[in-house]
Amino acid sequence: MSFHKPCPSCGKQILYYKNPLPTVDIIIFFPPEEIVLIERKNYPPGWALPGGFVDYGERAEQAAVREAREETGLEVVLTGLLGVYSDPQRDPRFHTLSMVYTAFAAHPVRLKAGDDAARARLFSWNDLPELAFDHHTIIQDFINFQNRLGTG
């Protein structure tokens, strides 16, 4: 989708493109069946995986490590890319495209809510709260992946 808008400097019409916004989500996994969730301070409410927007000039992997640290206080080591989630309806605010990483925390005792998180805590994947966005689907994909590996 594209549209024209006047240049703020010269007034000439410039073609702009409306693209999905890149985001990251992180599954911080504590074997055998626990993951870190944050309770969101902002709309939309609810519990969610730690994550956020990729900043301009930032690699997605850097954004994942940064967002994990900002929202949970944890220094994480990324272990893989679970997938890319791009349903235009996944975020009620706008169209986002999320790269979902898996990670282990270097020092799990440091779990503490920060930035956009009101609370941060461990949950058993067998007893999850109501989740924001498409995070229930993402976590189920992670559980299925772990079960295929024989580690879940």
Q: Does 15 fall in a domain?
A: no
Q: Quick check: is 11 in a domain? A: no
What are the two backbone dihedrals, phi and then psi, of residue 40, each rounded to the nearest 5 degrees? -70, 140
Can you give the CATH number for the domain in which 123 is found? 3.90.79.10
| 1 contacts: CB under 8 Å, gap ≥ 6 | 17, 18
Residue 90 lies in a domain: yes
Residue 117 belongs to a domain: yes
Look at residue 9 in the predicted model and tell me its pLDDT.
87
| Residue 83 is assigned to a structural domain of this protein | yes
Is position 28 within any domain? yes
Residue 7 inside a domain? The answer is no
Per-residue pLDDT of the chain in tens (152 residues, 90 and over written 9): 788 888 888 989 988 888 999 999 999 999 989 999 999 988 888 999 999 999 999 999 999 999 999 999 999 999 999 999 999 999 999 999 999 999 999 888 889 888 788 899 999 999 999 999 999 999 999 999 998 887 66
Domain tally, the chain: 1
CA distances from 102 to 2, 29, 57, 84 (A): 34, 7, 22, 12
Largest CA-CA distance found in the chain, in angstroms, rounded: 61
Domain that holds residue 43: 20-146
